[in-house]
Amino acid sequence: MEPIKNIKGTQDLLPQQAWKWHYIESVIRKMSETAGYREIRTPIFESTQLFKRGIGELTDVVSKEMYTFTDRGNTSLTLRPEMTASVMRSWIQNSLGQEGGVQKLYYAGPMFRAENVQKGRLRQFHQWGIELVGSPAAAADAEVILLMIRTLESFGLTNLKLKLNSVGDENCRPVYREILKDYFRPRLAELCPVCQGRFDSNPMRILDCKNETCKSVSAEAPKITDHLNEACQTHFDLVKTFLTKANIPFEIDPFLVRGLDYYTKTAFEVISTDLGSQNAVGGGGRYDLLIEQLGGKPTPSVGFAIGIERLLILLEERNLFKDLSPKGPDLFVATFSESHQTAIFPVVQNLRLAGIRTEMELIGRSIKAQMREADRLKAAYVLVVGDQELETQTVTLKKMADGSQTPVNLSELTDFFKRLA
């Protein structure tokens, strides 16, 4: 029989690793909630149309990376490749805007993209993200960026780089695109085939190309930051002012173009050199037009997402997991035979009911092997149950740290451990 293996680009989270996720998730939740964000959970699959309309048909994510299938009713469904579109769908559908003010939402969960795998890039991966819905203010952008940076810092990460740009809005971006096309048109032949295709579909993406000749052609290209209209320019300047006042270093990158169509004005990305080629830990931006595109009332919003697996890689490589691994059991109960197990079983169950983490031998190994097991589990105490103990109703508790032994009456066992705590 051939064993069945997991699907490429997915991974098992084994018990030895799970606590690291718990740790990351606890920090994420705490930081989000402290900043006033509330969790939202949406379905893992949605109607395909949601992502096509929200993210943009021409983006790589939608055109070639979605896990799309039809269900038995012949409806086209897609495993979510990101969550902003889902959250906005839910926001509209559940009239969250009716609650007034801004809605501050966060999420954490699995996303799916049918890409080729490499370091930091999986087919099922996890994102933590936040969405601040309903504010056009630069303060909102700044708040979002700050939450992302401060959270990464709270894990102990340093040497992260924040890249910032403005991609304009529906008024100035089309103008800039034409200026850009005018620049590239005479040099079109020098660009790589992919960028030649981008010339018509999305010329701004040429700026992002890593191809050396494309980079050199792009080097002198007009910058969006020189062609923002007044509203975008003012907004951008204000975001920079907020960040400067908060002592957040950033680097303006006029070539930062993110791959999702819905961004307007602010776009940002946090990168780290420890990640290999996929160096973005997280990114985000403002999306003032998205809700309208999805059929809601025009609502300016801003958000980010970070990749949890990438964060995990960083924490591993910089050795930032403090020893948060779970403690061993309070007590390991060793037995000689099934009859001893039968006798002590109710005691073990009562200890657990009292909140004392108790393990009992289940495969009938020798006492020596059970001691080794208790040691491996990092049990604080061990007690051995044999005929003597059952006859006298008194057990000897061995403290594993120093080997000292204490006699305890069986009826006082629970109290003994409660006093320790």
| Gap between the Cα atoms of 203 and 79, Å rounded | 29
* DSSP E strand boundaries for 218-376: 251-252, 264-271, 280-286, 301-307, 331-335, 358-360
Q: What are phi and psi of 340, to 5 degrees?
A: -65, -40
Q: State yes or no: residue 343 binds RNA (CB under 7 A).
A: no
Q: Which range of residues in 42-50, 232-240, 256-264, 287-295 is near RNA by CB under 7 A?
A: 256-264
Instruction: Specify the residue, 118 or 234, whose C-beta has the smaller distance to RNA.
Output: 118
Buried b (16+ CB within 10 A) or exposed e, 81-94: bbbbbbbbbbbbee
- Judged by CB, which is closer to RNA: 120, or 329? 120
* Strands 38-39 and 358-360, sheet pairing: unpaired
Phi, psi of 24 (to 5 degrees): -60, -45
Closest CB to RNA among residues 102, 308:
308
Is 400 near RNA (CB under 7 A)? yes
Q: Across the strands, what pairs with 164?
A: 252, 268
Q: Considering only CA atoms, which of 272, 393, 374 is closest in space to residue 329? A: 374
Q: Are 227 and 179 in contact (CB under 8 A)?
A: yes
Q: Among 169, 208, 274, 330, indicate the residue that binds RNA (CB under 7 A).
A: 208
Site mask, RNA, residues 304-333, x = CB under 7 A?
-xxx-xx-----------------------
Among 94, 201, 216, 396, interactor with RNA by CB under 7 A: 396
Q: Is 110 exposed, middle or buried (0-12, 13-18, 19+ CB in 10 A)?
A: middle
Binding pattern to RNA, positions 159-198, x when CB under 7 A?
-----------------------------------x----
DSSP 381-408: EEEEE-HHHHHHTEEEEEETTT--EEEE
Q: Look up residue 65 and give its two tokens.
A: 């990376």
Least distance to RNA from the beta carbon of 275, Å?
8
Is residue 241 within the footprint of RNA (CB under 7 A)? no
Answer for which of 97, 109, 136, 276 binds RNA (CB under 7 A) is 276
Alpha-carbon separation of residue 213 from 179, 187, 205, 358, 410 (angstroms): 20, 11, 15, 65, 79
Residues 286-305 that bind RNA (CB under 7 A): 305
Q: Does 127 bind RNA (CB under 7 A)?
A: yes
Decide if 185 contacts 241 (C-beta within 8 A).
Answer: no
Options 122-130, 163-171, 293-301, 411-419: segment touching RNA (CB under 7 A) = 122-130
Q: Is 16 exposed, middle or buried (0-12, 13-18, 19+ CB in 10 A)?
A: exposed
Told to check if 419 binds RNA by CB under 7 A, we report: no
Residue 389 phi/psi, 5-degree rounding, is -60, -40
For position 367 contacting RNA by CB under 7 A, the verdict is yes
Binding residues for RNA, total number by CB under 7 A: 66
Using CB under 7 A, pick the residue from 22, 185, 372, 418 that binds RNA. 372
Please, which residues have CB within 8 angstroms of residue 380's CB and are 6 or more apart in sequence? Answer: 328, 329, 330, 331, 399, 400, 401
217 in contact with RNA (CB under 7 A): no
Alpha-carbon distance of 360 to 118, in angstroms, equals 43
Q: Shortest approach of RNA to residue 165 CB, angstroms? A: 12
The four Cα atoms 177, 179, 182, 183 give a dihedral, to 10 degrees, of -100
Of residues 53, 235, 258, 265, which one binds RNA by CB under 7 A?
Answer: 258
Beta carbon of residue 248, minimum distance to RNA (angstroms, whole number): 17
Pick between residue 102 and residue 333 the one whose CB is nearest to RNA. Answer: 333
CB of residue 158 vs RNA: minimum separation in angstroms?
A: 18
User: In the set 144, 162, 221, 260, which binds RNA (CB under 7 A)?
Assistant: 260
Measure the CA–CA gap between 164 and 240, rounded to whole angstroms: 9
401 sits near RNA (criterion: CB under 7 A): yes
Q: Closest distance between RNA and the C-beta of residue 135, in Å? A: 21
Residue 3 interacts with RNA (CB under 7 A): yes or no: no
* Tokens of residue 98, six digits: 């009716």
* Contact positions with RNA (CB under 7 A) in 44-73: 59-61, 65
Contact residues for RNA, defined by CB under 7 A: 5, 8, 59-61, 65, 82, 113, 115-122, 125, 127, 194, 205, 208-211, 257-260, 269, 276-283, 305-307, 309-310, 365-369, 371-376, 382, 384-389, 396, 398, 400-403
